[in-house]
Chain A
Amino acid sequence: MENNNQKNPPIIMLIDDTPEDLYINHRVLKKHAVYKEVIQFSMATDAILHLQNEELEHSAIPDIIFLDIHMPLMNGFEFLDAFDALPAPVKHKCKIFILSSSFDQDDIERSKNNPYVKQFFEKPLTKEVLEKVLI
């Protein structure tokens, strides 16, 4: 996979309402990951709008999305609901990981039960987590 990634580095999308966390996550990615592009959204609604865009080429669809749960206006779960309505190519290509400070079991269970969520990680994003995601 690592070879794969090197040949075809992923597009990574970060959705988090906290600027510090976006900064940390971006910095961890820069330090420990190989990627084609990092797209950041502090509003989940903007992220959905981006993914809904019909002009979005297949190559521009993110491969990995790190999604926070607790966000104003549209939280992580609402994003997942909206994601369900997105075009099939988008849904097929995006792998969603929850990256949240919540350790509430209900949040964790609910995340794990969502078909689009690959895994649940506690913040902060670390090298160990990235290794699991990018393998």
Chain B
Amino acid sequence: MKISVLKHTTPSRILLSVYAGLFFLLAITGYFVMKEAGDTNAKYNDISGNSTRKLALIGEIRTGVARVEIAVLRGISVNDDLDKVNELKSMNSQYEKNNAKLEDYEKLISDTMEQVLFHDMLLKRNENTKARIALLRMNAGMDHTPVFNHQIEFQNEQFEKFQQTLTQLSDYIILQTASKDRQAKDSVQAAVKHIAFLIAATIFLLMLMGFLIVRAIRKLMLTNSELTDRDEKLQTQKNLFEGLLESAPDGIIGINEKGMIAIFNKQAENIFGYNREEILGELIETLMPERFRKPHEAHTAGYFRSPSNRVMGGSQHELYGKRKNGKEFPIDIGLSYLETSEGKIAISSIRDVTERKKAEQQLRSSEEALQQSNRQLKEISSSIPGAVYQFVIDENKRGKFLFVSEGIKELSGYTPEEIYSDDHKMTEGIPSEDLQLLNQAISESVKTLKPFLVRYRILDRETGNYKWVRSNAVPFVHPNGKTVWNGTLINISDAKLAEEELHRKNSELIKTNEELDRFVYSTSHDLRSPLTSVLGLTDFIESESSEPETIEHARMIKARIQRLDRFILNILNYSRNNRVEVETSFIRFKEIIEATIYHLNYMEGVGKIQFETQIDDSHSFLSDPVRITTVFENLIANAVKFQNFNQPKPVIRIEIKTGPGHAQITVRDNGIGIAPEHQQKIFNMFYRVSGKTPGSGLGLYLVKEIVDKLEGTLDVQSEKGSGTTFSIILKNLQNGK
């Protein structure tokens, strides 16, 4: 890199030549001014002399008639007044003639005068009367004088005219002379002013020149050390320049007019992958992809013809560079130029915009993705039944829809655009009591930031009927501090109808159920009441009869009645289990089991069975005692019923163990057992293993129902011929319920 700097003497040289030019101009101007002053002076002198001469002449004319001719001729010639000259000439010639006559007359006059004088003398001498003299004069006059006098008078008139003309002429000349004199004086003054100005200007310029010359000389007289200082400064500036060049964020490449690379900074090395040493002097086209090379050469030439600072390419043209490894990459180029001692250098600042292009590409694709997802949102949101919306409460506490999907048209009769422009359209068809509910739900949601769900009606403007809709929205606080809901609005008219139908059916069912319960209750009572009477009467027969067969019959009646009685009890319990809520209290298993066994006393063979109970209820256990009683009644009755009385020791063993979470209950017998194929069916309603066995088929079903209700499990293990074990795990309902 080399930079030529203009020599420091050049400005002085230029200054000197400017001064010289100025001086030359000044000299010429002075010459002309002086010349004009001289001319003016000469003219003045001429006029002045002329006038003097004229005045002298006029003086002469005035003093001597004889000189009139000369004076007139001279004076007039000066004035170049041809008419006057001619007039004067003719007058002169007339005058000459007159003069000649005059001279004659003068002579005559003098003669006459002498005669007159003589006559006068004679008159005087004669001292005759005046008349005589007058007469004499008359005579004389009559002889000569009248004519002569007349001629004299005429001559005198002429002469006076002439004198007058002369006087006019003289005045004119005097006037002219005075005017010329003034003019001359003015021009002399002007000339003097010019000259003074010129002198002042000259002096000023001379001083300036002197000053400049002194400066130039002083500069020329710079010492060597000063020159060294300057070189150092230049070096510093050069370093600074190079530093700037190297630290520039852009690649900077300079090319000369031949298109060869003359400047190649560090960043350019980084961008293109060339070392400075290998690329300096190469053609700039080396750094371009093949297809740009040819056109660029033409551009280069064009640029040097009219260099300017500008951006290369432009928005339409994408520019590419080529790295040393042959890879192309997009670039931005800014163009400028430098004038150096070695000629023009075009400077390109080059930026690798690969990343930017990539980012632009990403931006484009993400915009496309955004549009795509907007389209999808619109498609999806318009295809779902009902509408989705985004809703905001603004600072005026007014609701505003930021988004509503197309489905709103079907619900409200208005398009999203109509709703955006007037929010009232959204609430227009809502009955006031429903609107109040909706507003309450929204204000609640504003406070708690919890979702709201409101069902309300909208008037269908076409049919005049109400539609039921469900508005369900989740709020969040937007970064701008406003509360925004995303929600759905769904037409639930059908569901609402179904719901209403369901409600109706349900209340019907509830009613029916209640009736059924009442029916079961009263029926069971009505059935049982006579049974107890029969039992009481049978007791009398049994205890009072002496007939063994009658006693036996009474006992059979009693057993059948009691069977029927248990059945009725189970029906009532079944009804009760469905109807009555679980009511918990501490369960006293021992009491329940004892009472149950006591109640089952009527059953055949109960007395032969050995009941074994093992109860560990040290953990207090909460459940529903009435239901648990029913469970034990049925399980124990069942164990009695299916006991094998042919064995030496029929046993029913009841084990209970309570814990904090559960109670484990087992009822085991060594009875006839259940065949595997029946085991899963025994809990079905009205299932009976065989016609021979007693029972209604309701007992175990009721047990199962109750265990379910008490959140327990029921299991059965049985082997045909060796007995059955029912295992129940019941939940300890001590927490709640």
Chains A and B form a bound pair = yes
> Among the listed B537, B539, B580, which residue makes an inter-chain contact with A20, where contact means beta carbons less than 8 Å apart?
B537
Q: How far is the CA of A20 from the CA of B538 in the complex (A)?
A: 12
Please state if B626 and A104 are interface contacts (CB–CB under 8 Å). Answer: no
Q: How far is the CA of A106 from the CA of B569 in the complex (A)?
A: 13
Please state if B533 and A21 are interface contacts (CB–CB under 8 Å). Answer: yes
Which of B137-145, B521-529, B640-648, B658-666 sits within the interface?
B521-529
> Among the listed A21, A28, A102, A122, which residue makes an inter-chain contact with B525, where contact means beta carbons less than 8 Å apart?
A102
Given known pairs A18-B529, A70-B525, A70-B529, the reply for A103 and B572 (CB within 8 Å) is yes
Given known pairs A20-B533, A24-B533, A124-B532, the reply for A101 and B525 (CB within 8 Å) is yes
Please state if A101 and B540 are interface contacts (CB–CB under 8 Å). Answer: no
Q: How far is the CA of A20 from the CA of B532 in the complex (A)?
A: 10
Given known pairs A70-B529, A123-B532, A124-B532, the reply for A105 and B626 (CB within 8 Å) is yes
Instruction: Determine the chain A residues whose CB is within 8 A of the CB of B564 once the complex forms.
Output: none
Instruction: Determine the chain A residues whose CB is within 8 A of the CB of B532 once the complex forms.
Output: 21, 101, 122-124
Instruction: Determine the chain A residues whose CB is within 8 A of the CB of B540 once the complex forms.
Output: 24, 27
Query: At the interface, yes or no: B576 with Cβ under 8 Å from chain A?
Result: yes
Please state if B536 and A103 are interface contacts (CB–CB under 8 Å). Answer: no
Binary A-proximity of B352-376 (CB < 8 A = 1, otherwise 0): 0000000000000000000000000
Query: At the interface, yes or no: A6 with Cβ under 8 Å from chain B?
Result: no
Given known pairs A103-B569, A103-B572, A105-B576, the reply for A125 and B536 (CB within 8 Å) is yes
Query: At the interface, yes or no: B531 with Cβ under 8 Å from chain A?
Result: yes
Instruction: Determine the chain B residues whose CB is within 8 A of the CB of A105 once the complex forms.
Output: 576, 626
Q: How far is the CA of A102 from the CA of B537 in the complex (A)?
A: 18
> Among the listed B528, B537, B626, which residue makes an inter-chain contact with A101, where contact means beta carbons less than 8 Å apart?
B528
Instruction: Determine the chain B residues whose CB is within 8 A of the CB of A18 once the complex forms.
Output: 529, 533
Min CB distance, B406 to chain A, in Å? 59
Query: At the interface, yes or no: A126 with Cβ under 8 Å from chain B?
Result: yes
Please state if B531 and A101 are interface contacts (CB–CB under 8 Å). Answer: yes
Instruction: Determine the chain B residues whose CB is within 8 A of the CB of A101 once the complex forms.
Output: 525, 528-529, 531-532
Q: How far is the CA of A18 from the CA of B525 in the complex (A)?
A: 13
Query: At the interface, yes or no: B459 with Cβ under 8 Å from chain A?
Result: no
Please state if A124 and B521 are interface contacts (CB–CB under 8 Å). Answer: no
Q: How far is the CA of A24 from the CA of B536 in the complex (A)?
A: 6
Instruction: Determine the chain A residues whose CB is within 8 A of the CB of B626 once the complex forms.
Output: 105
Q: How far is the CA of A27 from the CA of B528 in the complex (A)?
A: 21
Instruction: Determine the chain B residues whose CB is within 8 A of the CB of A123 once the complex forms.
Output: 529, 532-533, 535-536
Instruction: Determine the chain A residues whose CB is within 8 A of the CB of B524 once the complex forms.
Output: 104
Instruction: Determine the chain B residues whose CB is within 8 A of the CB of A124 once the complex forms.
Output: 532-533, 535-536, 539
Binary B-proximity of A98-135 (CB < 8 A = 1, otherwise 0): 00011111100000000000000011111000000000
Residue of B nearest to A124 (CB): B536
Main secondary structure of the interface of B (DSSP, over half): helix
Given known pairs A24-B540, A27-B540, the reply for A102 and B533 (CB within 8 Å) is no
Instruction: Determine the chain B residues whose CB is within 8 A of the CB of A70 once the complex forms.
Output: 525, 529
Q: How far is the CA of A70 from the CA of B526 in the complex (A)?
A: 10
Min CB distance, B562 to chain A, in Å? 12
Min CB distance, A19 to chain B, in Å? 10
Binary A-proximity of B568-584 (CB < 8 A = 1, otherwise 0): 01001000100010000
Please state if A28 and B521 are interface contacts (CB–CB under 8 Å). Answer: no
Please state if B536 and A28 are interface contacts (CB–CB under 8 Å). Answer: yes
Binary A-proximity of B504-535 (CB < 8 A = 1, otherwise 0): 00000000000000000100110011011101
Binary A-proximity of B244-285 (CB < 8 A = 1, otherwise 0): 000000000000000000000000000000000000000000
Q: How far is the CA of A102 from the CA of B531 in the complex (A)?
A: 11
Please state if A126 and B569 are interface contacts (CB–CB under 8 Å). Answer: no
Q: Which of A101, A104, A106 has the most CB of B within 10 A?
A: A101
Please state if A24 and B572 are interface contacts (CB–CB under 8 Å). Answer: no
Instruction: Determine the chain A residues whose CB is within 8 A of the CB of B536 once the complex forms.
Output: 20-21, 24-25, 28, 123-125
In B465-491, the 8 Å CB interface with A consists of none
Q: How far is the CA of A122 from the CA of B598 in the complex (A)?
A: 13
Please state if B528 and A103 are interface contacts (CB–CB under 8 Å). Answer: yes
Min CB distance, B129 to chain A, in Å? 211
Residue of B nearest to A68 (CB): B529
Min CB distance, B23 to chain A, in Å? 142
Q: How far is the CA of A18 from the CA of B531 in the complex (A)?
A: 12
Please state if B539 and A126 are interface contacts (CB–CB under 8 Å). Answer: yes
Min CB distance, B189 to chain A, in Å? 150
Instruction: Determine the chain B residues whose CB is within 8 A of the CB of A27 once the complex forms.
Output: 540
Binary A-proximity of B537-548 (CB < 8 A = 1, otherwise 0): 101100000000
Q: How far is the CA of A105 from the CA of B569 in the complex (A)?
A: 10
Residue of B nearest to A19 (CB): B533
Instruction: Determine the chain B residues whose CB is within 8 A of the CB of A122 once the complex forms.
Output: 532
Q: How far is the CA of A99 from the CA of B96 in the complex (A)?
A: 204
Please state if B533 and A104 are interface contacts (CB–CB under 8 Å). Answer: no
Residue of B nearest to A99 (CB): B532
Instruction: Determine the chain B residues whose CB is within 8 A of the CB of A28 once the complex forms.
Output: 536
Q: How far is the CA of A10 from the CA of B569 in the complex (A)?
A: 34
Given known pairs A21-B536, A27-B540, the reply for A104 and B525 (CB within 8 Å) is yes
Q: How far is the CA of A101 from the CA of B529 in the complex (A)?
A: 5
Q: How far is the CA of A69 from the CA of B535 in the complex (A)?
A: 18
Q: How far is the CA of A106 from the CA of B579 in the complex (A)?
A: 12
Q: How far is the CA of A103 from the CA of B569 in the complex (A)?
A: 7
Q: Which of A25, A102, A126 has the most CB of B within 10 A?
A: A102
Q: How far is the CA of A24 from the CA of B539 in the complex (A)?
A: 10
Instruction: Determine the chain A residues whose CB is within 8 A of the CB of B572 once the complex forms.
Output: 103-104
Q: How far is the CA of A122 from the CA of B602 in the complex (A)?
A: 14
Residue of B nearest to A105 (CB): B626
Instruction: Determine the chain B residues whose CB is within 8 A of the CB of A21 once the complex forms.
Output: 532-533, 536
Residue of B nearest to A123 (CB): B532
Binary A-proximity of B446-464 (CB < 8 A = 1, otherwise 0): 0000000000000000000
Q: How far is the CA of A101 from the CA of B521 in the complex (A)?
A: 12
Given known pairs A24-B540, A27-B540, the reply for A102 and B528 (CB within 8 Å) is yes
Min CB distance, A22 to chain B, in Å? 10
Instruction: Determine the chain B residues whose CB is within 8 A of the CB of A104 once the complex forms.
Output: 521, 524-525, 572, 576
Residue of B nearest to A70 (CB): B525
Instruction: Determine the chain A residues whose CB is within 8 A of the CB of B521 once the complex forms.
Output: 104
In A62-102, the 8 Å CB interface with B consists of 70, 101-102
Q: How far is the CA of A106 from the CA of B536 in the complex (A)?
A: 24
Min CB distance, A117 to chain B, in Å? 18
Min CB distance, A120 to chain B, in Å? 12
Q: How far is the CA of A125 from the CA of B532 in the complex (A)?
A: 9
Min CB distance, A31 to chain B, in Å? 8
Instruction: Determine the chain A residues whose CB is within 8 A of the CB of B533 once the complex forms.
Output: 18, 20-21, 24, 123-124
16 A-B pairs within 8 Å (CB atoms) are namely: A20-B536, A24-B533, A24-B540, A25-B536, A70-B525, A101-B528, A101-B529, A102-B528, A103-B569, A103-B572, A105-B576, A123-B535, A123-B536, A124-B535, A124-B536, A126-B539
The 3 closest A-B pairs by CB, nearest first: A124-B536, A123-B532, A24-B536
Given contacts A25-B536, A124-B535, 12 further A-B contacts (CB under 8 A): A18-B529, A21-B536, A24-B533, A24-B540, A70-B529, A101-B528, A104-B572, A105-B626, A106-B580, A123-B532, A124-B532, A125-B536
